[in-house]
Amino acid sequence: MKPAPFRYHSPGTLDEALALLAEHGAGAKVLAGGQSLGPMMNMRLAQPDALVDINAIAGLDYVREHEKTIEIGALTRHHAIATSPLVRAACPLLAEAARQIGHYAIRQRGTIGGSLAHADPAAQFPLACATLGAEITAAGAGRTRTIAASEFFLSLMSTALEPEEIIVSVTLPKAPTSEGQAYVQFSRRRGDFAIVALAATVRPDAGGHIDQVRLGVGGATDRPMVLAELADCTRGEKADSGWAARLAKAAYDAVAPIDTPRVPAEFRRELVHVLTRRVLVTALERARR
Amino acid sequence: MPKTRFTQIGRAIPRREDRRLLTGNGRYVDDIEIPGALHACFVRSPHPHARIVRIDAKAALAMPGVAAVLTGADLAQWTTPLRVAPPIEGLHPVEMTTLPVDKVRFHGDPVACVIARDRYLAEDAAERVEVEYAPLPAVANADQALAEGTALVDESLPSNLVSEQRFSTGDVFARRREAHRVVESAFSQHRQTHLPIETRGCAALWDEGREHLTLHIGSQVPHPLRTQLAARMRLSESQVTISSLDVGGGFGQKIALYREELTVAAASRHLRRPVRWREDRMENLLAASHAREELCRTRAAVTDDGRLLGLELEILEDFGAYCFYPANYLARVVAMILTGPYKVSDYAFVVRVVLTNKCGSGPMRAPMSITSWVMEGTMDAIARELKLDPLEVRRRNMVAAAELPYTMPTGEVIADITPRETLEAAVTRVEYAQFRERQAAARREGRYLGLGLCSVVESTTYGSRFYKAAGIPGSGHEAAWVRIEPSGAVNASLGLGASGQGYETAFSQVVGEGLGVDPASVRIHLGNTDVAPYGMGSRGARGGTAGGATLFLCARDANEKMLAIAAKLLGFDSSEGLRMVEGKVVREVLGERIDTGISFAQLARTAYLDPTALPAGMAPGLDFSRTYDPPPMTYSNAAHVCEVELDVETGAVRILRYVVAEDCGTVLSPVVVEGQQHGAVAMGLSGALLEHMLYDEAAQNITGSLADYLVATATDLPRFEILPMHTPSRGNPVGTKGMAEGGVMGAIGAISNAVNDALAPFGVVAERQPLSPDYLRSLLRGKTP
Amino acid sequence: MDTVDFELSVNGERHAVRAEPRKLLTDVLREDCRLTGTHVGCEHGVCGACTVLVDGRPARACLLYAVQMRGHEITTIEAIAKDGVLSPLQQALHEVHGLQCGFCTAGIVMTFEAYLKENPRPTEEEIRDVLSGNLCRCTGYQNIVEAVLKVVHA
């Protein structure tokens, strides 16, 4: 389990990195934390001609607060996101998801940009970003563009990113104080990829009725699924356990999960049902605090 | 065993091995620097079953730095095949070449070996070795193996049924007829692997001038390995040295001489260069050794109050593609000791072992691991069927102290064990009656708790007479030497192979005890066949019993000679009344100890440097060796109790509590024994809940990484509560009974019984492992309490 | 394939390394720097045996290319005992029998040397959570947890 040969580049600036990607085309891979790419290369499942290591590029590792959003640099490590007071206050779902990525040592190296670009359908950040309506900013040669998370994830490990583009930051809406957020996942062991994960934000109105709900399912299909219409349909309902149960049943009916040798589809569907109810109840409780 | 109380044996001394291992100064195989060593990488079959049509290594050999690409045909010239053909009724003899010559038998089977400057290059070259295969139909499981017209895994056999053995005593049919009820149960254990954190590996150095091979390897059995390696390379045992320093876990995987290791040794001799190989994790998962895939069925004839009248057992084991061991050997032990602590005289079994196109199986920590689950699961099934309390059913059938020694229906004799005492101690600790109340209260809240009981009678130490009776060639004896050097320093050795069991600590205590010196002055030398005596190595749980006893007897021989010298120096006629205490010779007179002024070191000096001062006729020096063959079988016992909570919505199992009362007799090192208890239970729980070596329907292995093969982590396992008990074995000179595998047996049974207790309100029973959430959900689906 | 020359700072010592860019940090530490205390257990980031510190933070050395470590400080197990005195965690592991075969031990020591600096008073649950990133096949983890607790409560 040793990687195949590759050319190694460690550009000091984003422009240099973009130039290298343009030069190598699809044969090059961006190396950020390397916690997913590394295993794939050691197993020779990935054999890029060149690696463009972006770790030496300054100014990509930050969490910034704006009026209505927070912005996170692509090289920000999972551990920094999980422990950032700003993220925990403004975007608790993201911090909660970050805490559940892999293990302590993995979280020290892994980056949010890398996780989004890798687009594992069972990973935490793609689900959290899709559910929260994040925007992903990518730089290419001579241009920078912003892609909505809902349009970013195309299928299993495939994104809207062009080969010569690099994610530079992610922007997420700040949660209003009336909103409760929760992330739950079911995996065989702590730190494993989720078999099914659920992310939710719940905003009840002053009268205790549902004002806004966002609900996302990860691990069940080839990309994170946001159940926007289902959630919207419950607007105005009384925010209680009955609402959570009904929406959970609707999610169970709506999601047609993948079937794999280790995890049958019906089991995944049942998890969608149970975890949807649990994530909604938790988010609602947090909204009331 | 001696009547005197031990002063060193049984002391809790922190381990002597630790310092080097904690500071990064251990010497595992891969840590040994060998200048100029080439690296091996194996080309492995992507097919479960295929003819090898052609191997083209031209492109690989053209790469600068590639020294050789070896195939089965090459190895067949330099090595002999492995023939496993003990004269055992019902067992077919089998044979395998060093590397496959004409066909591959499982996904991961090695077909060629690339030898290159470094491992990176070797892997590059391995990708360029072109192998043309003609795929054959594959046998993916035991049912397919036995089906009509199925493919033959081993074409030298008449069928895939490599072994079939039957046994019957009493009249089980009559017992069935007169029974109040006949309770049938099934237990399906899944394929697992040992997963030492250090994978296999070796480094071979052929010395052309001396015509001598040194193989550095992590081995549990250095001498038997040497015997095999020498024979298969057509060398004399005097031409081979095995050196096994630190070993990063074995669990049964580091016993056999594997084909890769033999290939590397032969390559070194052929190329006249050192060659090394470190197995990577993917190879370790696909192709090292697997274990445990077996289906057991029991049929218990019982009275209306739950007493066992007769018992029948069927075992069907999937042994994989190759037999590194006699195929009957693991499953037969299960059948031999199944009844454990329970009284029954009418018993019958049939044990069938089949070959499939999967990695070969071997002994894994507790090769008889399923035994206690099968017996204790049967006890629970009886309780369920008769609506009796499972604890009460056990009490009604369990052998009592007054009934020991007790002869099992298979003729196995259990003695000096305490099944009732351990069971009662464990259920008292968990407050069994109160648990039932808590369980009922929780059920009313929609929470499902379960408690599982599992009594274990562990066969720890196989004596030569057991092997002889089973028809297996080999011995159960162990060998040791003790040398006291002129300075009084003590060196000692025995034929075991350490892989984390703290031998250097526990055995220095044994020698210290036998000699009457501080264990700190004793150094234990292990793992080098030029240094250690020829012993049978570490397998089963024989280290403490066979090894400890041999070393103790050897140290007593030394002690006797030294006291005889002391008597001569003191002018006494005999050494009666003299003892060595903490390195000083004392006289015991009317219970008082009087210092004689003679020290251990002084005696050592005299023995070597002043032989004329020795008693008449005594030879100079202090050099002792000894062998010891333990009784046919030694048993220890334990009771496990596991409490779980089952999340019936997700199928997740959480272990709330785990209690073990274990009686392993005299304990050499309580530190080591407790560690072994934790580790064994952990391995059992991990296997029962998480680990699963999964093949798909086409016999493709789909478990190639540690993201697929799930091993329990610190968050999956509970705190273990151990209740140690110490009833010594009267058949052992030190009183030890052995342990370290029983924890696996107990855990597998206790967790299953606990989960089934939690499932009980739904009227379903889990009959297979792993107890994965999706399996438990499949049982619960559509069921209501 | 072409090699590159670079300097690696390990345990405060500078090593001149000539290696292919693909050479993993594990292999460079073990072969080029001759520091064999960092063990290779899985080479896909799961088992944790090869955990070292990069600028004081734990990292899987099997998921790093040594060439990436220019300008960074690597700490390995060989630097944890100072002047022959075990660190409090090493000493506690010895005293409570927190290791058996010892193959996974270096990774566990390195993980907790870093973690206890960040969180000097973790609960047992937090310790188990962090320890879940290191596989041990021998101990069942209990005595490792005990050792960390012993350091925490010292």
Distance CA B378, CA B659 (A): 21
CA angle A12, A15, A18 (to 5 degrees): 105
In angstroms, what separates the C-alpha of B25 from chain C's closest C-alpha?
Answer: 6
Whether B121 and B52 share a structural domain: yes
Contact B399, B340 (CB under 8 A): no
Q: Does A187 touch chain C (CB under 8 A)?
A: no
Contact across the interface for B120 and C99, Cβ inside 8 Å: no
- pLDDT tens readout for residues A170-185: 999 999 999 999 999 9
Whether A42 and A88 share a structural domain: no
Contact across the interface for B22 and C131, Cβ inside 8 Å: no
Q: Among the three residues C50, C78, C106, which one is the final residue of a domain in this structure?
A: C78
Whether B660 and B720 share a structural domain: yes
Contact across the interface for A39 and B705, Cβ inside 8 Å: yes
Q: Among the three residues A173, A194, A219, which one is the final residue of a domain in this structure?
A: A173
* Site from A83, A99, A103, A109 to mutate, C interface, most C CB atoms within 10 angstroms: A103
In angstroms, what separates the C-alpha of C71 from chain B's closest C-alpha?
Answer: 24
Whether the CA torsion B336, B337, B338, B341 is positive or negative: it is positive
Residue numbers in B near A44 (CB within 8 A):
123, 127
SS3 B117: coil
Whether A184 and A282 share a structural domain: yes
Whether B669 and B717 share a structural domain: yes
Q: Does A261 touch chain B (CB under 8 A)?
A: yes
- pLDDT tens readout for residues A60-119: 999 999 999 999 999 999 999 999 999 999 999 999 999 999 999 999 999 999 999 999
Distance CA B129, CA B111 (A): 10
Whether C104 and C143 share a structural domain: yes
Q: What is the dihedral of CA B512, B722, B251, B339, to 10 degrees?
A: 110
Contact across the interface for B702 and A191, Cβ inside 8 Å: no
Q: Which residues of A200-237 are buried (b: 16+ CB within 10 A; e: fewer)?
A: bbbbbeeeeebbbbbbbbbbbbebbbbbeebbeebeee
Residue A270 lies in a domain: yes
Whether A161 and A68 share a structural domain: yes
* Site from B13, B22, B655 to mutate, C interface, most C CB atoms within 10 angstroms: B22
Bin B56: left if φ > 0, else alpha if -120 < ψ < 50, else beta: beta
Residue A1 lies in a domain: no
Residue numbers in B near A1 (CB within 8 A):
123, 280-282
A152: confidence class by pLDDT, cuts 50, 70, 90: very high
DSSP label at residue A207: T
How many structural domains comprise chain B?
3
Contact across the interface for A42 and C62, Cβ inside 8 Å: yes
How many structural domains comprise chain A?
3
* Mean pLDDT over each residue of chain A, to the nearest integer: 97
Contact B425, B641 (CB under 8 A): no
Residue numbers in C near B657 (CB within 8 A):
none
Q: What CATH number is associated with residue B260?
A: 3.90.1170.50
Which positions ≥6 away from B639 have C-beta within 8 Å?
B419, B422, B423, B425, B426, B427, B453, B454, B455, B456, B660, B661, B746
Touching C: A residues 31-50, CB under 8 Å: 31, 34-35, 38-39, 42-43
Whether A68 and A92 share a structural domain: yes
Distance CA A167, CA B313 (A): 62
Q: Among the three residues A173, A207, A228, which one is the final residue of a domain in this structure?
A: A173
In angstroms, what separates the C-alpha of A7 from chain B's closest C-alpha?
Answer: 15
Of the candidates B97, B160, B103, B159, the one whose C-alpha atom is nearest the C-alpha of residue B136 is: B103
Range of the domain at B454: 366-461+633-779
Range of the domain at C57: 4-78
Distance CA A251, CA A258 (A): 15
Range of the domain at A107: 63-173
Q: Does B195 touch chain C (CB under 8 A)?
A: yes
Question: Tokens 């083209």 sit at which residue?
Answer: B56
Whether B254 and B379 share a structural domain: no
Residue A91 lies in a domain: yes
Touching C: B residues 682-711, CB under 8 Å: 682-683, 705-707, 711
Q: What CATH number is associated with residue C106?
A: 1.10.150.120
Whether C73 and C131 share a structural domain: no
Q: How far is CA C151 from CA A252, C90, C93, C113, C148, in A?
A: 47, 10, 9, 11, 5
* pLDDT for B4: 59
Whether C32 and C65 share a structural domain: yes
Residue A90 lies in a domain: yes
Q: What CATH number is associated with residue B541?
A: 3.30.365.10
Contact B237, B228 (CB under 8 A): no
Distance CA B434, CA A194 (A): 37
Whether B613 and B489 share a structural domain: yes
* Site from A104, A274, A281 to mutate, B interface, most B CB atoms within 10 angstroms: A274
Query: Going by DSSP bridges, is the β-strand pair A158-159/B720-725 parallel, antiparallel, or unpaired?
Result: unpaired
State residue B710 phi and psi, 5-degree precision.
-95, 120
Distance CA B455, CA B342 (A): 10
Q: Mean pLDDT per segment of 10 residues, for chain B of length 785 residues?
A: 77 97 98 97 98 98 98 98 94 97 98 98 98 98 97 98 98 98 98 98 98 98 98 98 98 98 98 98 98 98 98 98 95 96 98 98 96 98 98 98 96 96 98 97 98 98 91 90 98 97 98 98 98 96 96 98 98 95 94 94 98 96 98 97 98 98 97 98 98 97 97 98 96 95 98 98 98 98 96
Question: Tokens 């273990």 sit at which residue?
Answer: B720
Q: What CATH number is associated with residue A208?
A: 3.30.390.50
Residue C83 lies in a domain: no
SS3 B68: strand
Residue A108 lies in a domain: yes
Whether B737 and B590 share a structural domain: no
Token pair for A200:
């939710």
In angstroms, what separates the C-alpha of C14 from chain B's closest C-alpha?
Answer: 19
Residue C41 lies in a domain: yes
Residues of chain C with pLDDT under 50: none
First to last CA, chain A: 50
Contact across the interface for C68 and A102, Cβ inside 8 Å: no
Residue numbers in C near A5 (CB within 8 A):
1, 20-22
Q: What CATH number is associated with residue A46?
A: 3.30.43.10
Residue C147 lies in a domain: yes
Residue numbers in C near A102 (CB within 8 A):
133
Residue A188 lies in a domain: yes
Q: Does B164 touch chain A (CB under 8 A)?
A: no
> What is the secondary structure of B321-375 as a DSSP string?
S--SS-TTHHHHHHHHHTTTTB--SEEEEEEEEE--SSPPB---SSTTTHHHHHH
Residue A58 lies in a domain: no
* pLDDT for C1: 61
Q: Does A191 touch chain C (CB under 8 A)?
A: yes
Q: Among the three residues B223, B257, B288, which one is the final residue of a domain in this structure?
A: B288
Contact across the interface for A188 and B710, Cβ inside 8 Å: yes
> Closest to B197 (Cβ–Cβ): which among C22, C93, C135?
C135
Contact across the interface for B773 and A186, Cβ inside 8 Å: yes
Whether A238 and A151 share a structural domain: no
Whether C71 and C92 share a structural domain: no
Chains that touch B (3 or more CB pairs under 8 A): A, C
Of the candidates B737, B176, B727, the one whose C-alpha atom is nearest the C-alpha of residue B421 is: B727
Question: Tokens 């130490």 sit at which residue?
Answer: B461
CA angle B92, B95, B101 (to 5 degrees): 140
In angstroms, what separates the C-alpha of B48 from chain A's closest C-alpha?
Answer: 18
Q: What is the dihedral of CA A221, A225, A230, A232, to 10 degrees?
A: 180
Q: What CATH number is associated with residue C38?
A: 3.10.20.30
* pLDDT for B402: 96
Whether B486 and B456 share a structural domain: no
Whether C53 and C100 share a structural domain: no
Contact across the interface for B706 and C47, Cβ inside 8 Å: yes
From the centroid of its chain, how far is CA B383?
32
Residue B358 lies in a domain: no
How many structural domains comprise chain C?
2
The one-letter code for the residue type at A163 is P
Contact across the interface for C132 and A34, Cβ inside 8 Å: no
Whether A22 and A98 share a structural domain: no
DSSP label at residue B516: T
Token pair for A211:
């004002």
Whether C99 and C130 share a structural domain: yes
Distance CA C53, CA C74 (A): 6
> Closest to B500 (Cβ–Cβ): which among C41, C43, C100?
C100
Whether A188 and A262 share a structural domain: yes
Contact B339, B328 (CB under 8 A): no
Bin B516: left if φ > 0, else alpha if -120 < ψ < 50, else beta: left
Question: Tokens 């030890």 sit at which residue?
Answer: B736
* Site from B650, B695, B700, B711 to mutate, A interface, most A CB atoms within 10 angstroms: B650
Q: Does A8 touch chain C (CB under 8 A)?
A: yes
Contact C150, A211 (CB under 8 A): no
Which residue on chain C is closest to A45 by alpha carbon?
Answer: C44
ipTM over 0.90: yes
Whether C74 and C95 share a structural domain: no
Distance CA B495, CA B489 (A): 21
Residue A113 lies in a domain: yes
Residue numbers in C near A7 (CB within 8 A):
21
